[in-house]
Structure 1
Amino acid sequence: MKTATKSFPVAISARHIHVSEEDLQALFGPNAALTKDFELSQPGQFAAKERVSIEGPKGVLHNVRVLGPVRAATQVEISRTDAMKLGLTPPLRQSGDIESSAGIKLIHQEKEIMIEQGVIIAQAHIHMTEEDALALDVQNNELVCVEVDSERPVTFRGVVVRVSNDFSLEMHIDTDEANAGFIEQQAQGRIVRSLT
């Protein structure tokens, strides 16, 4: 028998890049700044108008969206399918954990830079506030199972709980995970627990 918590939205995160200030200047020129295109669901985060190409040993992906604001280190988040097209084997990691991850070439017009690490496949995770965590009876960095409603219902295991009052309640999965489960934007998910 399973028990389920209240539902929350599930967002599908397509490939994207977070850039450091140094790499932003190198790619877009001195004194470059990210140009906000639209706000994202997480407070303070936005999709920028700037885009880059990413090149691996076997291929290139064009028009990869840059997300803002700038970060301390450049990070590229792709799906497993993207990784195969590029010829890379990036690790499955939480955002920000890029130590010894894959490297890649970043290209904007005539400018190219090589980052030695920073390419990851993001682990499925749920952003939430401390109040949400109390209501859902979970703790920061806890791994949970989440059942998502769709035409092909799936349950994700090993979903990381990320708690901060800077967050808004929402689960993030990548395009491969969404496609496998026939999941569309703003589907609903619930944390499920098995009872013995």
Structure 2
Amino acid sequence: MISNRLVEIVCQRVSDKLNEIDGFLIPVGVSNKHIHLSQKDLDILFGVGYKLNIKKNLGQPGQFAAEETVTIRGNKGEFEKVRILGPVRTRTQLEISKTDSFLLGIKPPIRESGDLKGSCGVEIIGPKGKIRIDEGTIVALRHIHMTPEDAIKMNVKDGDFVDVKIFGKRKAIVSNVLIRVSDKYKLEMHIDTDEANALGLSNNDKVLISHFFDEII
């Protein structure tokens, strides 16, 4: 027969382990298709000197979803009302899922943000004009944003690739998750809608880098 004291000890140890894990849990941000524009391209699409209007702030400091949208046209189809994310960047970059690429009729590579050389082109249509970019469309490589302090705590560094433990009914280990470290970041794992749907994940769900799961549990 199990004593009440033994039950108390087990419950306390489980509670302690859960508290220990809590400091390492990483919130999820699910990325739908979106576009980052350069000021030059924004001027063509919306008018010279145009400034984006903030619809809502995003998880990463200084980043926001704009009120403005554009139409994206590929070889086979198009998407209307694709959200622009701000602020403006030095180069225009469209991020879509693999499923989106089938509908557009293009074959974008899976890349880290900013790695655009040799990627796909599309037509971008705004209210005042349109442009054709020869490269700039990617399927974003899944990644985790974190601060230098987070990186020290989790024993990783910028550019590392890690395995991530997914909880829930579709629990899994997801490999090749890129670590991105900056004092301008906030802790968050970014995945696209294809990955989120396959893993049963939603915004603000929590995941854990696998080596911490193995060490703590």
* Range of TM-score over shorter length: over 0.9
Superposition deviation, residue 110 in structure 1: 5.6
> 2:32 aligns to what?
14
1:184 pairs, out of 193, 202, 206, with 202
Q: 2:54 aligns with which of 36, 42, 58?
A: 36
Compare the two structures and name the one with the higher helix fraction.
Answer: 2
CA distance in 2, matches of 1:123, 1:150: 23
Instruction: Give how far 1:58 is off.
Output: 0.6
In 2, Cα distance between equivalents of 1:149 and 1:11: 15
What residue in structure 1 maps to residue 115 of structure 2? 97
For 1:129 and 1:109, locate their aligned partners in 2 and report how far apart those are by CA, in whole Å: 38
Asked if 1:140 is matched to 2:140, the reply is no
Q: Decide which structure has the larger Cα Rg and report it.
A: 2
Higher relative contact order (CA 8 A, sep 6+): 1
Q: Which has the higher strand share?
A: 1
TM-score with structure 2 setting the length: 0.85
The within-5 A match list for 1:72-83 is 72-83=90-101
Maintained 8 Å contact 1:150/1:187: no
- Give matches, 1:34-73, under 5 Å: 34-73=52-91
Q: Secondary structure at the match of 2:106?
A: coil
Aligned match of 1:108: 126
SS at match of 2:131: strand
Structure 2 unaligned regions, length at least 5: 1-20
Tell me the SS of whatever aligns to 2:45.
Answer: helix
Contact 2:71 2:80 in 1 (8 A): yes
Q: 1:153 aligns with which of 167, 171, 190?
A: 171
In 2, the alpha carbon distance for the partners of 1:46 and 1:102 equals: 25
- Which ranges of 4 or more aligned residues in structure 1 deviate by more than 6 Å? none
Q: Distance in 1 between matches of 2:75 and 2:192?
A: 22
Q: Give the superposed CA RMSD.
A: 1.4
Amino acid at match of 1:142: D
Aligned length, in residue pairs: 192
